[in-house]
Amino acid sequence: MQNDLVAALDIGGTKIAGALVDSAGRLVVRAQRPTPAQEDGDAVMAAVAAVLGELAGAPGWERVTAVGIGSAGPVDASTGTVSPVNVPGWRDYPLVDAVREALGGMRPGGPTHRWPAGGLPVTLVGDGVAMTAAEHWHGAARGRANALCMVVSTGVGGGLVLDGRLHPGPTGNAGHIGHISVDLDGDPCPCGARGCVERIASGPNIARRALERGWRPGPDGDATAAAVARAARAGDPVARGSFERAAQALAAGIAATATLVEIEVAVIGGGVAAAGEVLFAPLRAALRDYARLSFVQGLEVVPAQMGTDAGLVGAAAAVRARSGAPAAAVEAPAPTVP
C-alpha cells in the first residue's frame, strides 16, 4: 500500500542509522547512534534497539509493515546472522531474531493496532546489496536491467541487479566484488585470499601504498586516501600512481563481473569515489584494456548518486524487492527530510 512505511536500519562499524521510509523512498523520520564497535555484542544490539525505540516513538510508526536491514558483512540472510569484520563482538550474531525480540517490546502504534501474525517481516542484506538497491531505485542504475554497484571506501563491497531485479543471492552477499582476486600472487587479504580487489583499491590500501612508495602527507599530517587524492590532483606522481593501481584492480574486477553476467553499467560510490576523475579517468582507461570482448565493450562506469542515504533507502528497497513491489517504478528521485 502507498501509505505503508518500512523501518530501515543501516548498520556499520561507525554508526547505526535508522529511518522510516515511505513508498517513494523518502526518509520521513531519522534516528542514529554511534556503533560501540569495540564493546560486546549485547552493547551493539542495545544501540540498534535504541535506534528502533526512537523510530517507534515517532509519528508514522503505526504505518510500519516491515523492517529492512543493510549490515556490514559478511551477512547470512538464510540464517539471519551477521559477522561484520569491523564489529568484533558480532560473530554469527542472530541479528534478525534480536531485532524481532526488540520489536516485541515496542507498542506497534496505539492500543488498537497490532503487528501482523508472527510479527513484522524482517529482510536482511549486506550493505553493498543495500547500496545497489538504492541506486537501482533512485540513483545511477535506475532504469538499467543489469548493473553492478560498488562501495569503495574502507572496504570494497557491491551488489548486482540482473534482469531488472535486485539479486542478493541466497545469503545476501551476491556481487561482493571486493573479494575477487585480481593479483594471484598479491598481498594476503584479511579474508584469507590473496590479491583481492579490496586489498588494492580500498582507501586505506591506496594510502598505504602511496606511503610505502615515498609519498608524504602535508603539514596537517593527513595520510588518508582523500589526502592522496588531493596530492594526485596537484600532480604528485606517487599519489597518482597509487590511484592508477587501485583503478586497475577495480577495472579487472568489473570486467570479470561483466564477462560473467553481462552487466551494462558499473556504479561506484563510497569515500574513494569522491576523488572524482583522479579515480574515474584511469579506471575507464584500464577498463578498455580488460573489457575486450564485444559484449562488454560498451560497459559504462558512472559515479553513484545516493550518497550517505543509500544504506537506508536500499534497506527499504530490498524489502520491496522481496515482496515483489515495483520499487523502480517511482518517477522522481526521492528527496529526504533533514
Q: pLDDT at position 190, please?
A: 84
Q: Does residue 287 register a pLDDT over 90?
A: yes
Q: What is the pLDDT of residues 222-274, one digit of tens each?
A: 999 999 999 999 999 999 999 999 999 999 999 999 999 999 999 999 999 99
Kindly state the helix (H) or strand (E) to which residue 181 belongs, with its residue range: none
More confident residue, 19 or 118: 19
pLDDT of 108 reads: 59
> What CATH number should be reported for the domain whose range is 5-130+308-329?
3.30.420.40
Nearest to 202 by CA among 160, 265, 249, 234: 249
Query: What is the rounded distance in angstroms from the CA atom of residue 106 to the CA atom of residue 100?
Result: 10
Please tell me if the domain spanning 5-130+308-329 has the same topology as the one spanning 140-304.
Answer: yes
Tell me the whole-structure pTM to 2 decimals: 0.87
For the domain made up of 140-304, the CATH class stated in words is alpha beta
pLDDT digits (tens, 9 = 90+) for 316-330: 999 988 776 554 333
pLDDT band at 198; cut points 50, 70, 90? very high
- The pLDDT, as a whole number, for residue 86 is 81
pLDDT at 331 over 80: no
Q: Is the pLDDT of residue 100 over 80?
A: yes
Residue 58's Cβ-count burial label (10 Å; 0-12, 13-18, 19+) is: middle
Q: Is the dihedral of CA 292, 298, 303, 309 positive or negative?
A: negative
Phi (first) and psi of residue 149, to 5 degrees: -115, 135
Q: What is the Cα–Cα distance from 270 to 96, expressed in whole angstroms?
A: 26
Domain boundaries, the chain: 5-130+308-329, 140-304
Q: What average pLDDT does range 93-114 have in this prediction? A: 77
Quick one: what percent of the chain has pLDDT higher than 90? 79
pLDDT tens-digit series, residues 69-78: 999 888 999 9
Cα(233)–Cα(239) distance, rounded to whole angstroms?
9
Residue 299 has phi, psi (to 5 degrees) of -60, 130
CA distance 17 to 312: 8
Binned at pLDDT 50, 70 and 90, residue 109 comes out as: low
